[in-house]
A and B are shown apart, each in its own frame.
Chain A
Amino acid sequence: MTGQTPLLTAERVTKSYAGVQALRDASFELRGGEVHALVGENGAGKSTFIKIVTGAVTPDSGELTVNGDLVRENSPAISKSLGIAAIYQQPALFPELTVAENIAIGLERKGFFGFVNWNERRRAAKELLDRVGAKIDPETPAGELSMPQQQLVEIARALGANAKILIFDEPTASLSEEDTQNLFRVIRELRSQGVGMIYISHRLEELPVIADRVTVLRDGLTIGTKVMAEVSSEELIKLMVGRELSAVFPKRVVEIGETIFELKNLGSRAVGIKNINLSVRAGEIVGVAGLIGAGRTELAKAIFGIVESDAGEILLRGKPMHFGHPSEAIDVGIAYLPEDRRKHGVVLDFPISANITLASLKKLSGFKGMNFGKEKEIAAEYTRRLGVKTPTIHNAVSTLSGGNQQKVALSRWLMTKPSVLILDEPTQGIDVGAKSEIHSLMMEIAEQGVAILMISSELPEILGMSDRIAVMRGGTIAKVFDRSEATQDKILAVALGH
């Protein structure tokens, strides 16, 4: 549509924060009507690059052109006026405001004293929501929508702004398969309309489905741009990490012991799960698959005592248990690595050491108060063992990258010496290197005889790591597959209810 002029180019963009180089001479080109994937490990500079394009951050040097015109000054407002819009993993909506207003704020270009036409807002919102195939009442406050719905509202907003350049930052990270397919449908439609899209994802398997070209970033450098059809996942990973990964999943055969943990007809009306029957044995990894909203995280919450279960029972080594609070579950050796790492997994502003010991404070307190020497010792031990990259255990966790944060979160639960470990999306949004380290750790833990329940939305991970796979649908377990019989198609079929 736009001929040979690229929609967006970035030339030799450099940015450093307080001495740390986030981007070094990074160059990038986006054409009209293409989906251009941007991949790289966490900390490779993707976020910084996006921030520079959207004007949230000013680069130290380098040039940015849009439609062939040099962008001399940038800011969120300017980039918006240039037709650039970004859709983040965590939708940036106003929870108290209605959907119509959320859309309007992004697209109305009125001065401070511009007049707000509410009827026009509603009409425009309805039209845009129809275009992305979302059945949402424009009068609903955005805070009451589900995450995929919020994402659609954001896309509608970008469409309304006549965005020519759309940036997706990990859009599918928390989407179910169904919602992902819907999103892809919308993306393809936009592509046919000549919109250029930058697509960031850790899910390499979805790139061939949706992307036309791919650019790899590593340590702030652009390593190369390839046509998607000509490059394999393995090659991409190699480019990203700069080394070859021996095996994607380090699954080893572990001796499986007795049943440690069993759920019988477990249900909780508060979160809409029912009739859950499942058992996990020592050394076994049971994967839990399913769409978002199928009740996987809810199941974990009900087991761990975050929400009250009101039907059935939880058996630990044959003994019935009931947990009204997570602390009771922890006391008997159950650990839960939650889905939302930043909100629940770690306390971001707390030092690494305090985060690691937070769930085991009882073990550290004695008659003379807390044993700080022991805390340091244990924290250092786990920090080393899990390879958390940090100069000191007293740094706040917020200074770490996502993968390292996840390792701290995992350390916390390992310190409680659990016999049952529930992992909820253990590798979501973390880079490839850390991902594989965490998978290795899981095997180590399993080898020590811990029963592991692993919830994941990534089917390759489920298939690669699990001994058995429970597929959830509509708040209950629809089917349990054995490792040998499970395939991606079968799991998806059960999850979708075909």
Chain B
Amino acid sequence: MNFSRYKREISAAGAFVAILIVLAIVAPSFFSAGNLRDLLINNAPTLLIAVGMTMVILVGEIDISVGSQFAVCSIAAGFLAKTGMPMPVLFLSIFLVGAMMGSLNGVLVGWLRLPSIIVTLAMLVLWRDALRWLTEGAWVQNLPENFQWFGLSQSGGELTIVAITLTIFVAFAWTLRNLVAGRKIYAVGSDAEAARLAGISGPTVVLSVFALMGALTGIAALMNAVRFSEIPGNSGVGLELKAIAAVVVGGAAITGGRGTLVGTLIGVALLGTIGTALTFLGINPFWEKAIQGAIILIALVSDVALGRLEKNGRSNIAGAAA
């Protein structure tokens, strides 16, 4: 195993472990089973979205419209549940609604080659305002009994959410590493032109990745919605930045081609723990945003510091190649 290639993941994990150690000393109650379970469940939707975001960033694109897609999917889930749709069908439908919105981004970015940041900026505004216009911010209430926790008990439902999330995570992590489809994502992100010459259709890969991003957003929205008995009209604000931050902290390069889902998992864990950790440590919650920002910047600094060490070792070769 070549560890030097995963140094960003390792350093992020180091920071996470450091926080855990501080918590273990100062607030051991953080490690109660109940708290860990709650953390897991609360961060499950973010993790799902971050999985999609990792792939989007791996192909060298970005999606800042996921928060708005999340809101649309949540509301759609509530509405569909009220029609009495059985849970498995509902699951599939929301998956499709999300995939549709993702595909729209994918078509514009992949096939029409429009810059993803602009396309998804437009979609961010468009979906959010369309939803506001149509629903006027109303909550979906009086959901059927079997909506919350998929109609299971609370503990059963929680188990289901964690199981689904982890299954999806493991499946994607395995696919990215071990299936041709996953390696194509890396290839396109690493060098789109080289990928084309190798017979890989970049537009199709980009389209698929955005469609998956949308589908995962749909599932995440559903996972979030079933935890409650009502659905607010305006969820998911700022979710995109949370996901992007987690992916970047986890070591993915925003230029594409580099990054792993394990890193993303660490990123989600690190950023997702901060808020709770602050409460447990008795620190003022007002500083949470500042600390999250600082973590992103520190990740960048460490990235460069680590990169420099390595570059000095091979500057001659690089110089000759240039």
Instruction: Assess the A97–B257 pair: CB atoms within 8 A.
Output: yes
Instruction: Assess the B199–A116 pair: CB atoms within 8 A.
Output: no
Cβ-closest chain B residue relative to A121: B183
Q: In this assembly, does B125 line the interface, its C-beta being within 8 Å of a C-beta of chain A?
A: no
Instruction: Assess the B180–A146 pair: CB atoms within 8 A.
Output: no
Cβ-closest chain A residue relative to B180: A114
Residues of B with C-beta under 8 A to A75: 199
Binding site for A on B (CB under 8 A): 2, 5, 177-184, 186-187, 189-191, 193-200, 253, 256-258, 314-322
**Chain A nearest CB: distance from B156 CB in Å?**
32
Residues of A with C-beta under 8 A to B321: 145-147, 150
Task: Report if A112-B181 is in contact (Cβ < 8 Å); known contacts: A76-B198, A93-B191, A139-B2.
Answer: yes
Q: In this assembly, does A358 line the interface, its C-beta being within 8 Å of a C-beta of chain B?
A: no
**Chain B nearest CB: distance from A73 CB in Å?**
14
Instruction: Assess the A94–B186 pair: CB atoms within 8 A.
Output: yes
Q: In this assembly, does A231 line the interface, its C-beta being within 8 Å of a C-beta of chain B?
A: no
- Knowing that A54-B197, A106-B198 are A-B contacts, what are 18 other residue pairs whose CB atoms are under 8 Å apart, sorted by A's residue number? A80-B198, A86-B197, A93-B191, A93-B194, A94-B194, A94-B257, A96-B189, A96-B190, A96-B257, A101-B183, A105-B200, A113-B179, A113-B181, A114-B179, A116-B177, A139-B2, A272-B315, A293-B316
Once bound together, how far apart are the Cα atoms of A97 and B318, in whole Å? 16
Instruction: Assess the B179–A116 pair: CB atoms within 8 A.
Output: yes
Instruction: Assess the A96–B181 pair: CB atoms within 8 A.
Output: no
Partner of A94, one of B2, B181, B187, B316: B187
Once bound together, how far apart are the Cα atoms of A111 and B199, in whole Å? 12
Residues of B with C-beta under 8 A to A108: 180
Cβ-closest chain B residue relative to A475: B316
Partner of A293, one of B177, B183, B314, B320: B320
Residues of A with C-beta under 8 A to B322: 297, 340
Instruction: Assess the A105–B187 pair: CB atoms within 8 A.
Output: yes
Binding site for B on A (CB under 8 A): 54, 56, 75-77, 80, 86, 88, 92-97, 101, 105-106, 108, 110-116, 118, 139, 141, 144-147, 150, 270-272, 292-293, 297-298, 340
Once bound together, how far apart are the Cα atoms of A257 and B196, in whole Å? 54
Once bound together, how far apart are the Cα atoms of A110 and B182, in whole Å? 12
Instruction: Assess the A144–B317 pair: CB atoms within 8 A.
Output: yes
Selected A-B contacts with CB under 8 Å, 5 pairs = A77-B199, A94-B257, A147-B321, A271-B316, A297-B322
Partner of A272, one of B182, B196, B316: B316
Residues of B with C-beta under 8 A to A144: 314, 317-318
Partner of A105, one of B181, B183, B193, B257: B183
Once bound together, how far apart are the Cα atoms of A340 and B322, in whole Å? 8
Once bound together, how far apart are the Cα atoms of A193 and B191, in whole Å? 32
Task: Report if A95-B191 is in contact (Cβ < 8 Å); known contacts: A80-B199, A115-B179, A144-B314.
Answer: yes
Residues of A with C-beta under 8 A to B318: 144
Cβ-closest chain B residue relative to A107: B198
Residues of A with C-beta under 8 A to B184: 112
**Chain A nearest CB: distance from B151 CB in Å?**
33
Task: Report if A94-B190 is in contact (Cβ < 8 Å); known contacts: A56-B197, A147-B321.
Answer: yes
Instruction: Assess the B198–A92 pair: CB atoms within 8 A.
Output: yes
Residues of A with C-beta under 8 A to B199: 75-77, 80
Once bound together, how far apart are the Cα atoms of A144 and B311, in whole Å? 10
**Chain A nearest CB: distance from B109 CB in Å?**
20
Residues of A with C-beta under 8 A to B197: 54, 56, 76, 86, 88, 92
Cβ-closest chain B residue relative to A269: B315
Residue of A101, A112, A298, A340 most packed against chain B (CB within 10 A): A112
Task: Report if A270-B190 is in contact (Cβ < 8 Å); known contacts: A111-B180, A141-B5.
Answer: no
Once bound together, how far apart are the Cα atoms of A113 and B174, in whole Å? 12
Instruction: Assess the B183–A116 pair: CB atoms within 8 A.
Output: yes
Task: Report if A116-B317 is in contact (Cβ < 8 Å); known contacts: A96-B258, A97-B257, A105-B198.
Answer: no
Instruction: Assess the B315–A270 pair: CB atoms within 8 A.
Output: yes
Cβ-closest chain A residue relative to B311: A144
Once bound together, how far apart are the Cα atoms of A118 and B180, in whole Å? 12
Residues of A with C-beta under 8 A to B314: 144
